[in-house]
Amino acid sequence: MRFLGALWVFSCVSAIAPIAHADTIPVRSGEHGDFTRIVVDVPGGTGWELGREGAVYELRLDRRDADFELGRVFVAIPRDRVSDVAALPGGGRLAITMGCDCHAKVFVTANGGVALDVREGASTEGAAYETPLPPFGEDTQTAEASGVPARRPASLAQVAPRPALADDHAVALPVSPPRAAAVLPLGAPALPLPPGLTSGPAFSAAPEEGHLDRRERAQAILLEQLSRAASQGLVEVETDLPRPARPGQGTETSQAETPERPETAERDAPEEPLRARTSVEAHLRLVDTADAVTSAGETCPPEDRFALGDWQSDLPPAAQIGQARQALIGEFDRPDPEKVRALARLYISLSMGA
């Protein structure tokens, strides 16, 4: 009976062992116009190192039981920049052969994979991953002979940062209002000065007309921007505040005692030396926003959102729809949000007779 039990346990372990040791790593690919991307979905916690010898990049993992799934590598890409991707003997080794005078930029993906962007042209001097790796098995044999642990390959954190996306891949991030909004009154901005500051030659009771006009224009600019900030949720407007009190009684200064203002270039400036905009506009780089608000102070959408005529071309409608539908699916069989938006705009433009 004990013999049968031991035999049953041995059979279960023998059946599970190949599954536990078999670790197939997917290798994906994608064509991006000016570069070709190869992504190796390295499992978490796996060390790796990358080097180049001649036209071949070698990715070497610290796991010899790893295998690579290469069946769909050249389904999405041609063999122009990358001519071959193959596993090397010994396990955990992958060779990526260049098909041109190209170099690879390496970064780590969001899920921990190793990505190579293969671009045409030689690499810069001293670039990472452009030197050959040590001969396979040499480090292990040396370590076993000397009793020193073998050198562990670089971890996923020891990799060059991801390159900046091109302009056509840029993503517009939403602008969130601050958590704590300020409470600002939108009443008359002319606040009284402290009693100690109401007298003296520096404060004239009768400002010149030109100076008053400039102050009123500055006041109008600030009030307009406060209205825009309120419409964007950046401030809360308190409309029930009491009106400001009258200035305190102080020593009055007659107009005759007021010294004349020196003529300066600032007074003759053709434009106001004042620019005001909200943090949302500063983020979106809105420079000329004079006509970008409604009479209620709400921000107007950009004009290109309503240019229905620009959302289609001169081709027949069937040809335009066919081209737009073919471009929906991008890399790794995933829909491209910009292409989906373009197709939706095309349907709107055609259906509304623009």
pLDDT, tens only, 268-327: 555 555 666 666 666 555 445 455 666 665 667 777 777 777 888 888 888 889 888 888
In a domain, residue 128? The reply is: yes
**Which residues lie closer than 8 Å to 96 by C-beta, 6 or more apart?**
38, 56, 57, 58, 59, 82, 84, 85, 104, 116, 118
Question: What would the mean pLDDT of 22-41 be, rounded to a whole number?
Answer: 91
Q: Are 97 and 221 part of one and the same domain? A: no
Mean pLDDT of the chain: 71
Q: Nearest-CA neighbor of 113 among 39, 45, 186, 168?
A: 39
* pLDDT tens digits, 166-179: 444 444 444 444 44
pLDDT of 52 over the 90 cut: yes
- The whole-number pLDDT of residue 181 equals 42
Q: Are 217 and 138 part of one and the same domain? A: no
**Which residues lie closer than 8 Å to 195 by C-beta, 6 or more apart?**
248, 249, 250
In a domain, residue 3? The reply is: no
- Give the pair of three-digit tokens for residue 171: 């993503």
Which pLDDT band holds residue 213 (cuts at 50, 70, 90)?
confident
Q: Are 339 and 287 part of one and the same domain? A: no
pLDDT of 54 over the 70 cut: yes
Single-letter amino acid code for the residue at 121? G
Q: Are 152 and 215 part of one and the same domain? A: no
In a domain, residue 254? The reply is: no
Contact between 246 and 191 under an 8 Å Cβ cutoff? The reply is: no
Q: Are 160 and 25 part of one and the same domain? A: yes
In a domain, residue 1? The reply is: no
Q: For the domain that residue 28 is a member of, what is the CATH number?
A: 2.60.40.3500
Kindly state the greatest CA–CA separation across the chain. Answer: 122
Residue found by looking up tokens 């170099």 in the block: 103
In a domain, residue 288? The reply is: yes
- Bridge partners for 29 per DSSP: 38
Most confident of 3-12, 48-57, 284-293, 318-327: 48-57
In a domain, residue 2? The reply is: no
Which pLDDT band holds residue 346 (cuts at 50, 70, 90)?
confident
Q: Are 124 and 98 part of one and the same domain? A: yes
Contact between 246 and 194 under an 8 Å Cβ cutoff? The reply is: no
Q: Are 337 and 290 part of one and the same domain? A: no
- The whole-number pLDDT of residue 35 equals 95
- The whole-number pLDDT of residue 225 equals 79
Which pLDDT band holds residue 265 (cuts at 50, 70, 90)?
very low
Which of 40-44, 68-72, 244-248 is the least confident region?
244-248
Task: Please list, residue by residue across 42-74, b when 16 or more beta carbons sit within 10 angstroms of its beta carbon and e when fewer do.
Answer: beeebbbbbbbeeebbbbbbbbeebebebeebe
Q: Are 292 and 343 part of one and the same domain? A: no
The conformation of residue 304, written as its DSSP 8-state character, comes to G
pLDDT of 146 over the 60 cut: no
Contact between 277 and 222 under an 8 Å Cβ cutoff? The reply is: no
Q: Residue 229: which domain range?
A: 181-191+207-240+269-300
Which pLDDT band holds residue 199 (cuts at 50, 70, 90)?
very low
* pLDDT tens digits, 214-235: 788 888 888 877 777 776 667 7
Q: Are 151 and 215 part of one and the same domain? A: no
> How many domains does the structure of the chain reveal?
3
Single-letter amino acid code for the residue at 146? S
Which pLDDT band holds residue 27 (cuts at 50, 70, 90)?
very high
Coil, strand, or helix at residue 221? helix
What's the CA gap between 240 and 238, in Å, rounded? 6
Burial of residue 135 (number of CB atoms within 10 Å: 0-12, 13-18, 19+): exposed
pLDDT of 19 over the 50 cut: no
Count CA atoms closer than 13 A to 149's CA, side-chain side.
Answer: 4
